[in-house]
């Protein structure tokens, strides 16, 4: 709360309408593509949308460098980023909720000693990870929804050190520390240290994504796919959305790193772009810890 009377209200801008058109073409194209069409419209829309966002962010950066942003406007950005991350938390909450519901409510009901089990899914037993779906138990070889051949749970690992999710956890948790070291270095006016630690963080993000891709390739090779019942559904939806967010987070940090290395942006008192990206990074890290516990360890 303040009122310096200098709050920057931008002039008319073409960004919002073009962003809307780009977003509209993207989703309209995506829906048409999923309904049996071609990806052309989706691709066009996505490129347009990405270009608008690119120029939007560059304009915001230029305004900041030109000194148009007073302390009050910067607080608006801080609030906005914080609430955006809260909205992301709630998005993941829906999927964690679905996992909880399946494991604690729907599967015990389907496999329980009740008429649902007796009449519809006779022979189904509730075991997690769900390798035998209710459909397989009741209908044998004529089942349409079949379970996976393998799962990624900790119980399937020979040793914790050959278990890929362990290394993924190590990589991601380390990256949360390195991004914090980068922040500390920046606050101490140590730009070299900042570039180094941020570069390491980006590298760790990319390593995580490679490991996650290896995990998916392994899963698909060994017949664990997204349509393989409740386990395939929750495993791929939770890790998939997380991976998507790590990709975005890595991209954000990479842009921050390039801005710092190539353009010399960020100082100890003006670095919110970096800070916002690092908050986002800590957020995807926390989500991973949730995933690690509920999908892999207790999975």
Partner 1 sequence: MAHGPAKGFSRWLYTTNHKDIGSMYLWFSFAMFLLGGVFALVIRAELFEPGLQIVEPGFFNQMTTMHGLVMVFGAVMPAFVGLANWMIPMMLGAPDMALPRMNNWSFWILPFAFAMMVSTLFMEGGGPNFGWTFYAPLSTTYAPPSVTFFIFAVHIMGASSIMGSINIIATILNMRAPGMTLMKMPLFVWTWLITAYLLIAVMPVLAGVVTMMLMDIHFGTSFFDAAGGGDPVLFQHVFWFFGHPEVYIMILPAFGIVSAIIPTFARKPLFGYSSMVYATASIAFLSFIVWAHHMFTVGLPIAGELFFMYATMLIAVPTGVKVFNWVTTMFRGSMTFETPMLFSIAFVILFTIGGFSGLMLAIAPADFQYHDTYFVVAHFHYVLVPGAIFSITAGVYYWLPKWCGNMYNETMGKVQFWLAFIGLNVTFFPMHFVGLAGMQRRVPDYNQFFADFNMISSMGAFLFGAAQLMLLYNVISTIMSGKKATDEVWEDPEGLEWTVPSPAPYHTFSTPPPIK
Footprint on this chain of partner 1 (rule: CB under 8 A) = 1-3, 5, 7, 9-17, 19-21, 23-24, 27-28, 30-31, 34-35, 56, 72-73, 75-76, 79-80, 83-84, 86-88, 90-91, 93-95, 97-98, 101-102, 105-107, 109-110, 120-121, 130, 133-135, 143-145, 226-233, 236-237
Of 11 and 269, which has the nearer Cβ to partner 1?
11
Least distance in angstroms from the C-beta of 273 to partner 1 = 15
Of 73 and 196, which has the nearer Cβ to partner 1?
73
Alpha-carbon distances of 11 from 4, 17, 55, 68, 199, rounded to whole Å: 19, 14, 16, 12, 36
Least distance in angstroms from the C-beta of 22 to partner 1 = 10
Q: Is the dihedral of CA 87, 90, 94, 96 positive or negative?
A: positive
Least distance in angstroms from the C-beta of 242 to partner 1 = 14
Of 106 and 190, which has the nearer Cβ to partner 1?
106
Least distance in angstroms from the C-beta of 209 to partner 1 = 21
Structure tokens at 86: 């809260």
Structure tokens at 115: 């008429």
Least distance in angstroms from the C-beta of 34 to partner 1 = 5
CB of 42 closer than 8 Å to CB of 29: yes
Of 18 and 181, which has the nearer Cβ to partner 1?
18
Alpha-carbon distances of 256 from 59, 159, 209, 263, rounded to whole Å: 15, 38, 19, 10
CA dist 130 and 134 (Å) reads: 9
DSSP state of 93: H
Structure tokens at 207: 């390593």
Alpha-carbon distances of 198 from 137, 210, 258, rounded to whole Å: 51, 19, 10
CB of 24 closer than 8 Å to CB of 42: no
Of 118 and 258, which has the nearer Cβ to partner 1?
118
Least distance in angstroms from the C-beta of 286 to partner 1 = 16
Of 199 and 240, which has the nearer Cβ to partner 1?
240
CB atoms within 10 A of CB 183: 18
């Amino acid at each position: 709360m303040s009122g310096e009377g200098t709050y920057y209200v931008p002039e008319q801008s073409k960004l919002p309408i073009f962003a809307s058109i780009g977003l509209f073409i993207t989703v309209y194209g995506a829906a048409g593509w999923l309904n049996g069409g071609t990806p052309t419209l989706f691709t066009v829309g996505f490129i347009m949308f990405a270009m608008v966002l690119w120029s939007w962010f560059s304009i915001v950066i230029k305004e900041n460098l030109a000194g148009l942003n007073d302390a009050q406007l910067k607080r608006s950005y801080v609030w906005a980023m914080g609430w955006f991350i809260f909205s992301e938390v709630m998005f993941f909450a829906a999927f964690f909720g679905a996992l909880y519901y399946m494991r604690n409510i729907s599967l015990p009901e389907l496999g329980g000693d009740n008429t649902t089990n007796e009449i519809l899914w006779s022979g189904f037993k509730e075991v997690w990870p769900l390798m035998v779906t209710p459909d397989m138990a009741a209908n044998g070889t004529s089942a349409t929804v079949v379970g996976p051949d393998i799962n990624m749970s900790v119980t399937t690992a020979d040793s914790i050190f050959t278990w890929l999710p362990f290394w993924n956890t190590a990589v991601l948790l380390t990256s949360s520390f390195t991004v914090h070291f980068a922040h500390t270095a920046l606050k101490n006016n140590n730009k070299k240290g900042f570039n180094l630690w941020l570069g390491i963080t980006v590298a760790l993000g990319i390593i995580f994504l490679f490991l996650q891709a290896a995990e998916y390739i392994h899963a698909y090779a060994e017949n664990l796919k997204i349509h393989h019942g409740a386990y395939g559904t929750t495993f791929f939806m939770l890790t998939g959305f997380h991976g998507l967010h790590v990709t975005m987070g890595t991209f954000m940090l990479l842009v921050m790193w390039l801005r710092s290395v190539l353009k010399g942006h960020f100082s100890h008192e003006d670095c919110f772009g970096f800070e916002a990206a690092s908050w986002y990074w800590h957020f995807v890290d926390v989500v991973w810890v949730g995933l690690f516990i509920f999908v892999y360890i207790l999975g």
